[in-house]
Amino acid sequence: MSRRDEQELAARLARVLDGEETPGDELASLATVLERATEPARFEISEQEVEQALATVRPRLELRKHRRRRQPRLVLAFGTAAAAALAVLVVTFTQIGGLDVEAKALAALGGPGTVLHVDERIVPAVPGTFPVSTRTVWLDPGRHREAWGQVVRGIPIETTLVENGRVSRYLPEQNTVIVGSSCLAFASGCAEVLDPVGFYREALRAPGIVKSKRERIGGRDVYRLTLPVQSLPDAVPIEQRATIDAKTYLPVEIDWLEQRPGEGLRVVTRILVTRIERLSEEAAAEAFILPLSAGARIIQRAAPKAKLRLLGQRRLSLAEARGVVPKLLWLGDFYRGRTLLGVDQVRWNAGVAFRFRYDDITVWNYTSVIPPDLVAGRLAAPSKTLPAPLGVARFYSSRTGNVVAELERGGRSVAVVAPMLFKEDYFALIRGLRPLG
């Protein structure tokens, strides 16, 4: 084969890989072999894993920063050096006690090959702000999978399976399963796949970040562990506090705390661990199969491949908005003293979303593209999932710290953001959504 023919063949193979040419046998065979050879490296790494890796690297960065500062000043006063050495000793001995509790707490959860079966009761920090729900969770870190079912007032709301980063969410009420290539395919996804006990286990594995304190509460000896979750420049600081039994070293309560600008640290979600047991892989096998009913509708959602770029936006008349199929959800011309200011069609490189603007409330309708304002924080308190008149509603914190209420309905997502309103008002907002007819 001449070099020119080879170049032509290489360009055609490139077009086949780009999906621009239908291959004949030869090119199809070459494309297949490439696809298969590279398949093992095609796996997702969740944002949670990235944050954990970064948390592991940070102390070494600090050390390097410290070295950088120290290097030019070789002469240190003996007294300073002695004081530093003493400080290191004090810190080391102080941490030994904490590490001991951490190690025992981690050991109580079993090794990475152990499957954990956990029953959680999610209660509001302020009674009455949202209904109590229960979650049954299976955690299998060794095989990179998690599954959980959520029940509110005895009604199953959803079952979710996360396997190697792929998220499948089954909504029994709508007999629909939404499959995302990663948690990034969902606005709330990455907050959603963060099970509190799973996170607690991972936090224990990261060295030196746990503070522990022994206490006696209600006649029971417990340890209180504080695990810093997030302190990113663009996010609300979040902390997880775990209360563990001093005898079994298993968690009995996990609280998520947030610190909003100008406010103190406050509990936003309280999870009571009502049961926790270690299972073998065989005993838990069925937990990792979604319990789909016959005829379940499957909707695929892909995580964005390219960086999101805004292409433009256009104001729509109400008549034009009414013509959109499936029907958009809105709050009407007026909502509790607020007027509809406008409807926009916003275009990004990944797709189109529709926005209804009401003074301090925004309602988004979207499918293939997640408007950036709605993306969940990298590591936020777990989202709350509750039944709503038109589907399943999810409440979570966005990257900028705003509460977002998101409704899944017939494959379309609708989200409401209202920075000036309280969380309690969001339930009313979700109940107020209706089709634009």
Partner 1 sequence: MEEDLGGEERFRREQRDFEGLFRSHYPEIVRYLTARLGSREEADDLAAEVFLEAFRRVPGLRWRGKPVLAWLYRVAGNMAADALRRRGREVPSAEIDAPVSSEDAAERLAEREALSRALQTLPRDHQLVVHLRLVEGYPFAEVSRLTGRSVGACQMVVLRAARRLRAQLEQEGINVPA
Question: Among residues 216 and 305, whose Cβ is nearest to partner 1?
Answer: 305
Instruction: Provide the token pair at 9.
Output: 């063949």
Cβ 237 to partner 1 shortest distance, Å: 15
Confirm or reject binding of residue 94 to partner 1 (CB under 8 A).
Answer: no
User: Does the protein bind partner 1 through residue 50 (CB under 8 A)?
Assistant: yes
Compare residues 10 and 74 and give the one whose CB is closer to partner 1.
10
Give me the least distance between CB of 49 and partner 1, in Å please: 8
Q: Is 13 a binder of partner 1 (CB under 8 A)? A: yes
Q: Find the binder of partner 1 among 208, 291, 372, 419 (CB under 8 A).
A: 372
Q: Under the criterion CB under 8 A, does residue 108 sit at the interface with partner 1? A: no
End-to-end Cα, the chain, rounded Å? 64
Q: Say which residues have a Cβ less than 8 Å from residue 44's Cβ, sequence separation at least 6.
A: 164, 165, 166, 181, 182, 303
Distance CA 75, CA 276 (A): 55
**According to CB under 8 A, which one of 5, 22, 37, 96 is a site residue for partner 1?**
37
- Helices 3-17, 25-38: axis angle to 10 degrees equals 60
Between β-strands 176-180 and 297-301, what pairing exists: parallel, antiparallel or unpaired? parallel
Binding mask 234-253 vs partner 1 (x if CB under 8 A, - otherwise)?
--------------------
CA dist., res. 413 & res. 391, Å (int): 10
**Binds partner 1 (CB under 8 A): choice among 4, 69, 305, 315:** 305
Q: Which is it for the CA torsion 382, 387, 389, 390, positive or negative?
A: positive
282 binds partner 1 (CB under 8 A): no
**327 DSSP assignment:** P
- Closest separation in Å from C-beta 163 to partner 1: 10
285 binds partner 1 (CB under 8 A): no
Q: How far is CA 51 from CA 14, 111, 254, 257, 380, in A?
A: 35, 22, 20, 18, 12
Q: Nearest-CA neighbor of 250 among 272, 282, 218?
A: 272
Residue 120 contacts residue 197 (beta carbons within 8 Å): yes
- The helix/strand/coil state of 430 is helix
Reply yes or no: is the peptide bond before residue 196 cis, omega within 30 of 0.
no
Taking CB under 8 A as the binding criterion, the range among 153-161, 211-219, 251-259, 306-314 that sits at the site for partner 1 is 306-314
Choosing from 21, 23, 299, 332, the residue that interacts with partner 1 (CB under 8 A) is 23
**14 binds partner 1 per the rule CB under 8 A:** yes
Nearest CB to partner 1, comparing residues 33 and 217: 33
Examine residue 352 and tell whether it contacts partner 1 (CB under 8 A): no
CA distance 13 to 36: 15
Q: Which of the ranges 8-16, 147-155, 261-269, 335-343 carries the binding residues for partner 1, by CB under 8 A? A: 8-16
* Per CB under 8 A, 231 contacts partner 1: no
| 279-to-116, 273, 283 alpha-carbon distances in Å | 6, 17, 6
The structure tokens listed for 105 are 């707490």
Q: Which is nearer to partner 1, 62 or 215 (CB)?
A: 62
Nearest-approach distance from CB 312 to partner 1, in angstroms: 13
Nearer to partner 1, 49 or 360 (CB): 49
Does 83 engage in binding with partner 1 (CB under 8 A)? no
Q: Does 43 bind partner 1 (CB under 8 A)?
A: yes
Catalog residues that contact partner 1 under the rule CB under 8 A: 6-7, 9-11, 13-14, 17-18, 23, 25, 28-45, 47, 50, 53-54, 56-57, 60-61, 64, 143, 232, 304-310, 370, 372, 375, 378
